Structure 1
């Protein structure tokens, strides 16, 4: 599928979620750049990793500064999260979301400019970094992604990740939020957290430290590893160049929506 078709599908879902701005009549000022042009500029920057100042204004009809402000504005209004939840509901309605199980994992990324939610990375010689903590459904569709400093232990983010799963609608009845099982690697091995996960009615399948390979969890966990690779295909998420954590989180939500939309349309 071409990027143009994907952008059309994304825009048709995003446009109704954008808050309506009141028109100023007495001092209208310059005409506001179209939201569609801003979306195309934001997508281009997210995919290529180009700095906002270097965004080709002539190609999209929106400057990099405008795209950055619109990204922030929509994040503060909750638009990106609503978009992600809307597409998740469409996937569930189409029978394409498997909430019987969830898979968790994390990945490190270097934080070139510092900012909130950064810390010395233990896998990058103590250089400043951040972590993406990812939870997906049983087939690797991203349900939630959170951002922390690079020095945060994975297991401490297990419960916040479970809590971050939105209530997914799409079929008649109560929205679905909790999976029945959760799969994780040795980084989440802790008896305390196993008990806390079971207390929420979820069965944990977590590899034990020191145990030999061949536990069989790999046939479940590879989906989340693939999803992390999809996230990092957006070059602005491969390296953290945004000092502001909210801007980076907005890009994460946008990337999750694009990944979910691809799964809905392509398959």
Structure 2
């Protein structure tokens, strides 16, 4: 096995899961041009950038991923085709089939990151001396598995993304009957304390359980909310997500969706190892 193959086997979802999601591109019969670099190697290059945070132009050629520009263009192509959201849905369905998703409650939170190059969905961050920043907004199930993620400017209030996060949760299959999409309860900290949004959440058929402002710390939600903070730690373990380097918001959102999918894949591997042992 090549060095590239060894790295991929540790860090990437199974190729049999990913390959069917990529759009098929047939080579032209006339004037075919240069042969298209294999999707598998390019996908590994994208994962390498996500994990290491390396600049595209510094992507090691000796690993066989192709050039950084090739990987960037393929990432943009697959993002436009909706590959990453479908990959996340497929892995969520596998987790639900394994009884590893808990929709009894969901947890929401937001996290600031710096956006050094600016671009759409950035703003003056109130926690970073007004520098340009973005915010990751995350919703997880009761065990900390990412269900959906959104990106906004760093000056957006967390509560504005409460309803969009709930609406962004995909219909999760994996069991007989209708797909599951809404949790029974959603938990949030004081940043989500607003009666208007509580009503909007109830309109979606979800019970809001949100800490009130002005109350002492120790609301009791911390014993259940910590899973989303752990999920953020796992998500920001990918170095490309610690700082936003992308001017294009859709490219950064692609990395976010891919990071969520990788967290789901790791949970599936843990479940598989438990079954084997």
TM-score (norm 2): 0.94
Q: Does the CA contact (< 8 Å) of 1:10 and 1:258 recur in 2?
A: no
Alignment correspondent of 2:60? 56
Q: Does the CA contact (< 8 Å) of 1:75 and 1:250 recur in 2?
A: yes
Three-state SS of the structure 2 residue aligned to 1:143 is strand
Tell me by how many angstroms 1:60 deviates. 2.5
1:218 matched to 2:227? The reply is: no
Cα 1:33–1:93 shift into 2, 3 Å? same
Alignment correspondent of 1:254? 258
Tell me by how many angstroms 1:3 deviates. 4.7
Q: Distance in 2 between matches of 1:58 and 1:142?
A: 34
Q: Distance in 2 between matches of 1:57 and 1:221?
A: 43
2:140 to 136, 139, 143: 136
2:26 to 22, 27, 36: 22
Tell me by how many angstroms 1:100 deviates. 1.4
Q: Distance in 1 between matches of 2:203 and 2:34?
A: 56
Three-state SS of the structure 1 residue aligned to 2:138 is strand
1:7-86 map, 5 Å: 7=11, 9-86=13-90
Tell me by how many angstroms 1:199 deviates. 1.9
- In the comparison of the two structures, how many residue pairs are matched? 266
Measured on the aligned residues, the alpha-carbon RMSD in Å equals 1.1
- Comparing 3-12 and 230-239, the one that deviates more: 3-12
Three-state SS of the structure 2 residue aligned to 1:104 is strand
Three-state SS of the structure 2 residue aligned to 1:91 is helix
Q: Does the CA contact (< 8 Å) of 1:6 and 1:262 recur in 2?
A: no
Q: Mind listing any 5+ residue stretches in structure 2 that lack a counterpart?
A: 1-5, 272-277
1:109 matched to 2:113? The reply is: yes
Q: Mind listing any 5+ residue stretches in structure 1 that lack a counterpart?
A: none
Alignment correspondent of 2:188? 184
Q: Distance in 2 between matches of 1:266 and 1:72?
A: 31
